[in-house]
Structure 1
């Protein structure tokens, strides 16, 4: 009879240090492979599929506090930026000897600097929205733009072209009303300021106003609508409240308040119906750039910022502009099969 031999590791014997040295065994007595560590959570959650634009924040990470914290971040820090630039403007105006007791002094004596600081303060809200989408709600940045995950540049350009045509028709309607009612040229009556005054103001308008208008769309028709969509599926409470906030942050009174509220409400509607901000941005940019360029031609680049009481006649042209834009863009989106769901 052979003497039993001691088996070493790997030969079916007991491993050095006892049975536990090999870890858990499978059903055949073979050491089982160690369990793989759990993968870390993804940095962002994908948006839910098949949802309209205002519900894209309803991701797996969606919690009640995320849209609340994000809204405080966007509006609060945006107000800080705007206030800070306003203080800088006030200091420069005081040092320049501007009569600060005159409420219109900044618009008449420092129009270009007033326009720059105001437009820049509003434009800075755009990166705030994108930061909040990415790092507070933890979803793709592009979901703030459209259901396809980014801006559809061709579609936005087409909407801007429609907006330009609608604005020109609106101007023609206003001008025809003033002439037929015996009021002369009305709001279009102005003195040419000359190229030396117009060109610097036009450059500021063309560079900053598109970002200012786009930032307002990302805040009011983008962030706020999707923040409300985090809590409820219907878009109407978010549409009404965001439009009221949009109206309150403008300085218009009387018919001007009505116009701004309806303008915001219609842009919410076209955003939901077209699945993104492109149409709203296109119209808003064209509308603002056109108004500021007219003011710059008269040497009054900051006059559109000096808002106040507005008669219904002044709202006639913009109202026609908005109706034409909606009447053309919504059927055009359907004809071109513009995606309205993620």
Structure 2
């Protein structure tokens, strides 16, 4: 069982609290290059009270995008340090129950969300051209492709390692069940996005999408006994979104192919995909990977793995 692999490590919950703090500090250190760049460009007196839209107008979009993503490289270093030295755990055990990482699963989930995102964006551009403008500029876009392909998978992997790996196992060991870590990691994952500019532009209802996405990725992880599907899905979602479409009110503003120029206000219809499309995604994955035991894997108790008894050793001998 995926969560139970944490029993092989140093798993006192205080270690997860300290580990989370270390990862947070590492991420904060990684934001220093962005702050230095803004300081050089604007000066210290203009940095106070700047929001994300000010940051993107201060530096070029590609440079800002690159400097934002650099912080996740530092966070990844923090994760590797915490897992190895604080928990004395094999990194693989925090990622999957399989003997090695299943790239086939990651690529399938990547392709699934990529096809959906590309198709829905093109359909919107065709049927509602007043809402999406074609802004393709080959040189900035080529630079964006290099930055995004290299660093967006690191950004999404860091988030998955933290929420669907590290904290999923930590909360599971604490509560000794599966539903508590699923709920906690999904709510915290959504809450981490609360200060994104999308919330100011579209309203708090967008939190349903963020928290719902957390549940989607968490269910993938628990049902599949590993993070491969969540890693592939999250990477595909963010990478294709960064390359395909941007807006003035999004957390990542890029030199993408299209730009959303519609009114960003959201209502109930905008969150329907959480209740319609996400279950379809899960249904496709469940069919392909033959998931069974939903109740046990999502709501069942968590028991420490049984150590082989002396009698078992004698029988084996």
With the shorter chain as reference, the TM-score category is 0.7 to 0.9
Q: Secondary structure at the match of 1:57?
A: helix
- Kindly indicate whether the alpha-carbon contact (under 8 Å) linking 1:119 and 1:212 is maintained by their aligned counterparts in 2: yes
Deviations 1:161-200 (A, max 9, x none): 2222233344366568xx4xxxx3364x113242122111
Q: Tell me the TM-score normalized by structure 2.
A: 0.74
Aligned to 1:140: 90
Task: Write out per-residue CA displacement over residues 25-46 of structure 1, whole angstroms, 9 at most, x where no aligned residue.
Answer: xxxxxxxxxxxxxxxxxxxxxx
Asked whether the equivalents of residues 174 and 314 of structure 1 are also in contact (C-alpha less than 8 Å), the reply is no
Please say if 1:185 is aligned against 2:141.
Answer: no
- The structural deviation recorded for 1:213 is 0.8
2:176 matches 1:233: yes
Q: Is the alpha carbon distance of 1:63 and 1:100 closer, same or farther for their aligned partners in structure 2, counting shifts above 3 Å?
A: closer
Larger Rg: 1
TM-score, structure 1 normalization: 0.69
Does the 8 Å CA contact 1:256/1:310 hold for their aligned counterparts? no
Output the CA distance in 2 between the equivalents of 1:85 and 1:295.
26
**1:290 match:** 240
Q: Which runs of 5+ in 1 are unaligned?
A: 1-51
**CA distance in structure 2 between the partners assigned to 1:112 and 1:301 by the alignment:** 13
Q: Do 2:26 and 2:77's aligned partners in 1 also have CA atoms closer than 8 Å?
A: no
Offset of 1:256 from its aligned partner?
1.7
CA positional deviation for 1:301:
9.9
Kindly tell me: are residues 264 and 85 of structure 1, through their superposed partners in 2, closer, same or farther at Cα, counting changes over 3 Å? farther
Question: Do the aligned partners of 2:2 and 2:97 also contact (CA within 8 Å) in 1?
Answer: yes
Structure 2 stretches lacking a partner, 5+ long: 255-263, 292-296, 306-317
Take 1:78 and 1:127, find their aligned partners in 2: how far apart are those partners? 9
Choose which of 62, 74, 85 in structure 2 pairs with 1:124.
74
Residues 234, 198 of structure 1: CA spacing in aligned structure 2 closer, same or farther, 3 A cutoff? same
Cα pair 1:112 1:302 within 8 Å, conserved: no
Question: Would you tell me which structure has more helix in proportion to its own residues?
Answer: 2
**Partners of 1:240 and 1:75 in 2: CA distance:** 21
Distance change in 2, residues 1:226/1:186 (3 Å): farther
